[in-house]
Structure 1
Amino acid sequence: MSAGDYESRWLAPDVNAVWTRFLHVTHRLEHHIDRRLQEQHGITHTQYEILVRLADSDERAMRMSDLAESIVTAKSAVTYQINKLSEMGLVSRKKCGRDNRGIWVHLTEDGAERLEHAAPCILSLVRELFLDAINCDQAAELDKLLGTWSDNLDEHDRNPIGPPEHAGPQAA
C-alpha cells in the first residue's frame, strides 16, 4: 500500500502533514518570487516564465497553445498574461499564416531586455530561498523524488485514471 492508496477516504495524519507542508512551501516560494519580480521588474513569475519559453524557442516565437502547454496552464490564463505582456510591449501577436485560428506570440526586443534584467533576480532567489538551504546530498535526493513524481505524472498523462467511485467531493 502506498501513501496515495485509494483504500482510505482520508490521508494518514503523517502523510497529510507532508502533503500540507509541501503545498505550503511551494506556495510561499512562488509568492516570494512573484513579489520580488513585480517589485523589481514589473512582471509576475508567470509572465517571466512566458518570456523564458519564448526566448528559448526558435525565432523567439511560439503558438499560444504550445506556450500554454509548456508552462502547464490553461489557454485562457495564457491569453490573459499575453494581453498584459503585449500591453507592456514585451510580446507581439500575429495570426498563423496556415491556420487563422492559431496565434503566434513573439518576444520583442523590449521583452528580451526585460528578461535579461530579471534573470539575475530569479537566480538570486533560487539560490537564497531554495539551494542555499540544502546540501548536495539533499539536492540529489530531491532530484530523485522530483524524477519519481515527474515519471508518475507522465504515466497518468498517458493513462489517466478517475477517482474511485466511492470517493465524494470531500476526498483529498
Structure 2
Amino acid sequence: MDATTRRGDEAARAANSPRVHDFGLLIKAATRLEQRIDTALRRECGIGHTMFEVLIRLCRQPGEEVSQRELADDLTLTSSGITRLIDRMEEADLVGRAPSPEDRRSVLVEPTDHGRTVFLQAVAVHSQVVERYFVVPLAGDDYTRLTRALGEIHKALREG
C-alpha cells in the first residue's frame, strides 16, 4: 500500500470516527432546528431568529439597561454586526436606543411596546417549533438527560 492510499484510509477512519460523527449530529440537528425556527418566525412574526434572540435578552429583566456592547457579546456578534441588526430592528419599531446616563460612549437598547407585542407572538411560534422538533421526539427521561447534559457542556465551555 502506498503512502497516498494509507493517508486516504487514515483520513476516512478519522472522518468516520464516533466523536466526529456524534458532534456532526449535534451541529446538524441544531442548525436544522434553528432553520425551522427562523422560517416560522419570519412567516408568522416578520422577524428572524437573531432578532428574536435580541428581544429575549431585552425582555428578560424589565427595566434592565442593556448596552449594544452587551448584546453583541451575548449574541457573539461584532460591534458592526450588532449595530446593523439594531438599525433594522429600530426601523421596524421593535427597539429604541438611548444614550447611557453613566457612560456617554455607550448606547442602551430597549424594546418598544410593538417589540414586546411581536416578542410575545414570537415566543408562541418558537415554543411550537421547539416542542415539535426538540421535545416530542424524545422520551421524557431522554429529554431531561439531554437538557442536563447540554447545561453541563455549556458550563464547561464558559469555564474553559
Using the size of structure 1 for normalisation, the TM-score is 0.78
Aligned position for 1:100: 104
Does the 8 A contact of 1:94 with 1:104 survive in 2?
Answer: yes
How far, CA to CA, are the matches of 1:149 and 1:11 in structure 2?
A: 23
Spell out the pairing of 1:1-172 with structure 2 (5 A cutoff). Answer: 13-59=17-63, 61-156=65-160
TM-score with structure 2 length normalisation? 0.84
Deviation per CA, 1:81-139, whole angstroms, max 9, x where unpaired? 11110010111112212322100001111101111122111111110111011111101
Gaps of 5+ in 1: 1-8, 157-172
Q: Across the two proteins, how many residue pairs are aligned to each other?
A: 148
SS in 2 for 1:133: coil
Post-superposition Cα deviations, 1:37-96, rounded to whole Å, max 9, x if no partner, equal 011111001101111211122416411112222334333322221111001011111221
Could you list the per-position Cα deviations for residues 125-162 of structure 1 after superposition, in whole angstroms to 9, with x for gaps in the alignment? 11011101111110121123212211210221xxxxxx
Q: Which has the higher helix share?
A: 2
Percent sequence identity is 25
Give the letter for the 2:149 counterpart: L
Quick check: which has more Rg, 1 or 2?
2
CA distance in 1, matches of 2:58, 2:48: 15
**Aligned residue type for 2:26:** F
1:83 & 1:19 partners in 2: Cα distance?
A: 35
Q: Cα 1:121–1:60, aligned 2, differ >3 Å: closer, same or farther?
A: farther
The 2-side partners of 1:12 and 1:58 are apart by 48
Runs of 4 or more consecutive aligned structure 1 residues displaced over 6 Å after TM superposition: none
- The answer to whether the 8 A contact 1:61-1:107 is kept is no
2:109 partner SS:
strand
